Amino acid sequence: MRKDDGMLKKYGIVGLCCIGMVTSFAAYAASDKTKKKAHDDMELDTTMSFTSLVPQSNAPLGERLGEIKTMAQREEAFEDEDMRASIEPLAHEEQQEKDLFQWFSTYAEVIGLVQQKGFKSVDFSKFIQNSLKSAVASIDAHSAFFDQESYKATLEATSGEFSGIGISIMGKAPDDDVLSVVDVIQAGPADKVGIQAGDKIIEVNKEKLRGLSSDEVVNKLKGKVGTTVELKIMRDDKPLEFTVMRDVIKDQNSLCYYFKDQKVYYVSLSLFTENAAQQMATLLKKANDGECNGIVLDLRRNPGGTLDSAIDMASLFLPKGSLVVSTRDSKRRTVAEYVTKNEPLLKSDVPIFILVNNFTASAAEILAGCLAHHSKEGVQIVEQKGKQKIAHNLMVFIVGTPTFGKGSVQELIPIKNGCALKLTTMLYFLPNNVSIQATGIKPDFLVQPKLVPHEQMRWVDQLYGKENSLKNHITEKEVHQSYGDDGKDLEKHDDSEKTDETSQDLGPQEIAAGKGGMVQGVRSSKKALKEEKGKKKSLEEQRREGLALDVQVQACVNMISMFTLGKASQRDAVATRTRAFDFLKSHYVVDQPAVLEKIE
């Protein structure tokens, strides 16, 4: 029997195809490095400014190590930090290639056995695609494999021709059975039929969710305007069924109010869209022209949006050319740096209080962290008044609870057979060289919400809202190990201003949608809806009432009033950001445990 016949008998035709992949893998891996760099450069936004890439040797690991003859020399080389930094990545890469060769053959053997001995006939196209879907999902919390159908649906859903149901969701792993609703857009399709934040979706169009990624579920929820989608949800351990008609979601991405007595402008941004910066610019012009003691920028439950929008927002507050964020790849190279493009629109030293919570993610975290960093660094805004130039200190303070912690970048890469790979390729780093991945932004002033959520929403808040509770998330430890020195280079927080968050326990770690997407959703029984119609207040009344009772907003307004009082009576006490922080911390009690002394 020929060798080829023996191989065919052992592995089967499909198995031999997999082994064929092994023979070409080494050549592909070498050539792909050049192709991948070219692809990454094409994917990156043209508005970026690039730094030079770190040159790397292409010599095989054996040749690099061959220069070190003895074991003693090798040990000495690994004691040298520069040599170790050069060799360790190569050793890791060589080990990866060995693992791939070894396990490709095992994969081929499994396929051969299934083909030859399996009782059921197997569709190997689905078999391999499902294995890729599971494998890629295990890389990290945001990577995914799209088969031909799901990739096509993703492209259609982002084409602008499709609508949704008006809910915000959090991510799920393919092996999860439910998809939890984080928020419902007021007056949207889902809200009209009675779907609530905290509901857990278990079926879409009678299809169970196990085996589906978040992206696949989102694609099933979206569709053409006027079409319907059937949902089965769990609420208080009871199943409920809804039929929701899809529509264009007309959610207002920003809401603006003016606290007349306190002279405070309030703006809430629910998503970073193309026109978000324009809406913020309109408010800043009013603040510049009218009476303004301070601004409250509410980024709570903002899942992110486009990075360009966040950069445009930062440009309204920071001098032109200020660094907003940079991206780095797994080789520790700075791939791109994003900077502000225009001169700031803000022309005063009014304090800006940014409200955040555990559902503040991605671009929203980048904006908050960037502005806070530059404020701590003493950045000044120059105002031109006639021939006189007046310098104002940028005063930015973070209020609320720790943010979500999504600091990774995903690329959607088309691949063969009409499929696509969504892969985490880089991490974001703030201007102070700190990654927010799995850590988020810590507030300067910890202020907890005081309204007690209903049971379902409490469950969502306790289990969701943190990157570090997502399955297979990139951990803080992995970030530190990837970028050297166990993260010591990354821990450059300003120790002069300690956050008001001490060892406060927020309960179990919350997990997250991190997908940042608004899932844009008629209960079977319309009786309950009709009964509620006459009782409901208008949308504007609900918003005003909610804002008036919001203790986190109240805390911001009160601190602005205190800052204004300090500026009028003790100007030196709030002359710089550091002094202002100390002044507010010593005069305003938030949710940090107060220091008490017993009096005998």
Rounded to whole angstroms, how far apart are CA atoms 294 and 559? 9
Q: Residues 581, 480: one domain?
A: yes
Q: Residues 506, 453: one domain?
A: yes
- The tokens for 481 are 């190990």
490, 435 contact by CB (below 8 A): yes
- Return the half-sphere exposure (C-beta side, CA atoms, 13 A cut-off) of residue 345: 19
For residue 17, the model assigns a pLDDT of: 61
**Helices vs strands, H then E, count in the chain:** 17, 20
pLDDT band at 119 (very low <50, low <70, confident <90, very high): very high
Q: Which residues pair with 354 in a beta bridge?
A: 297, 398
For residue 174, the model assigns a pLDDT of: 84
Q: Does residue 79 sit within a domain?
A: yes
For residue 596, the model assigns a pLDDT of: 74
pLDDT band at 518 (very low <50, low <70, confident <90, very high): very low
pLDDT at 594 over 90: no
Question: If you average pLDDT over each of 217-231, 249-263, 461-475, which comes out highest?
Answer: 217-231
For residue 509, the model assigns a pLDDT of: 26
pLDDT band at 55 (very low <50, low <70, confident <90, very high): very low
Neighbours of 183 (CB within 10 A): 22
Rounded to whole angstroms, how far apart are CA atoms 192 and 98? 56
Provide Rg for the chain, Cα atoms. 27
Interval 220-245 mean pLDDT: 94
Domain boundary among 122, 140, 171: 122
* 3-state class (DSSP) for residue 540: helix
pLDDT at 546 over 90: no
For residue 410, the model assigns a pLDDT of: 95
For residue 7, the model assigns a pLDDT of: 60
Q: Does residue 130 sit within a domain?
A: no
Q: Residues 262, 172: one domain?
A: no
Q: Residues 79, 188: one domain?
A: no
Following DSSP, what letter does each residue of 174-191 receive, concatenated?
Answer: TT-S-EEEEEE-TTSHHH
The CATH number of the domain where 155 resides is what?
Answer: 2.30.42.10
Q: How large a percentage of the chain has pLDDT more than 90? A: 49
Q: Which residues pair with 266 in a beta bridge?
A: 257, 296
Domain boundary among 245, 270, 289: 245
pLDDT of 338-388, one tens digit each?
999 999 999 888 999 999 999 999 999 999 999 999 999 999 988 877 778
Q: Residues 225, 363: one domain?
A: no
Rounded to whole angstroms, how far apart are CA atoms 561 and 555? 10
Q: Residues 339, 200: one domain?
A: no
Q: Comparing 178 with 528, which gets the higher pLDDT?
A: 178
Residues, the chain, total?
600
Q: Residues 196, 321: one domain?
A: no
Q: Residues 163, 273: one domain?
A: no
For residue 525, the model assigns a pLDDT of: 38
What's the CA angle centered on 377, arms 375 and 382, to 5 degrees? 65
Burial of 430 (0-12, 13-18, 19+ CB in 10 A): buried
Q: Does residue 165 sit within a domain?
A: yes
DSSP character at residue 164: B
Rounded to whole angstroms, how far apart are CA atoms 344 and 316? 4
Q: Residues 210, 233: one domain?
A: yes
- The tokens for 403 are 């943010």
DSSP character at residue 49: B
pLDDT at 186 over 90: no
Q: Residues 259, 205: one domain?
A: no
- The tokens for 206 are 């009678």
For residue 9, the model assigns a pLDDT of: 61
pLDDT at 460 over 60: no
User: From residue 448, how far is each of 191, 592, 596 by CA, in Å?
Assistant: 26, 10, 21
The CATH number of the domain where 313 resides is what?
Answer: 3.90.226.10
- CA 397 to the chain's CA centroid: 21
* 3-state class (DSSP) for residue 427: strand
Of 336, 416, 414, 402, which Cα lies nearest the Cα of 368? 402
CA dihedral 471, 476, 482, 487 (to 10 degrees): -170
H or E stretch including 84? helix 81-117
Q: Which residues does 456 contact at the CB level (< 8 Å), separation at least 6?
A: 196, 197, 198, 199, 200, 235, 236
- CA 494 to the chain's CA centroid: 23
Rounded to whole angstroms, how far apart are CA atoms 268 and 255? 5
Give the mean pLDDT of the chain. Answer: 79
For residue 242, the model assigns a pLDDT of: 98
Q: Residues 482, 353: one domain?
A: yes
* 3-state class (DSSP) for residue 135: helix
Q: Does residue 176 sit within a domain?
A: yes
Q: Comparing 464 with 338, which gets the higher pLDDT?
A: 338
Rounded to whole angstroms, how far apart are CA atoms 465 and 514? 8
For residue 425, the model assigns a pLDDT of: 97
Domain boundary among 245, 278, 295: 245
* The total number of structural domains that make up the chain: 3
Domain, as residue range, for 294? 254-516+535-587
User: From residue 191, how far is each of 239, 521, 530 by CA, in Å?
Assistant: 18, 8, 14
Q: Which residues pair with 338 in a beta bridge?
A: 325
Give all strands (DSSP E) within 215-360, no chain letters: 228-235, 238-245, 254-259, 264-269, 294-298, 323-328, 334-339, 352-356
Q: Comparing 187 with 569, which gets the higher pLDDT?
A: 569
Tokens 């889902």: give the residue: 190
Q: Does residue 143 sit within a domain?
A: no
Q: Does residue 129 sit within a domain?
A: no
For residue 490, the model assigns a pLDDT of: 43
403, 411 contact by CB (below 8 A): no
H or E stretch including 106? helix 81-117
Q: Comparing 2 with 301, which gets the higher pLDDT?
A: 301
Q: Look at 91-95, 231-235, 421-425, 464-468 and tell me which has the smallest mean pLDDT.
A: 464-468
pLDDT of 479-516, one tens digit each?
888 886 544 444 344 433 443 333 232 222 222 333 33
Q: Comparing 325 with 27, which gets the higher pLDDT?
A: 325
What's the CA angle centered on 363, arms 585 and 452, to 5 degrees? 55
What angle separates helix 148-157 from helix 214-221, to the nearest 10 degrees?
50
* 3-state class (DSSP) for residue 573: helix
Tokens 């009675």: give the residue: 194
Following DSSP, what letter does each residue of 427-448 receive, concatenated?
Answer: EEE-TTS-B-TTT----SEE--
Give all strands (DSSP E) within 264-346, no chain letters: 264-269, 294-298, 323-328, 334-339
pLDDT at 67 over 60: no
Of 288, 282, 485, which Cα lies nearest the Cα of 381? 288
Q: Residues 43, 154: one domain?
A: no
Query: What's the predicted TM-score (pTM) here?
Result: 0.78
Q: Does residue 524 sit within a domain?
A: no
* 283 torsion bin: left (phi>0), alpha (psi -120 to 50), beta (else): alpha
Sign of the alpha-carbon torsion through 567, 569, 571, 574: negative
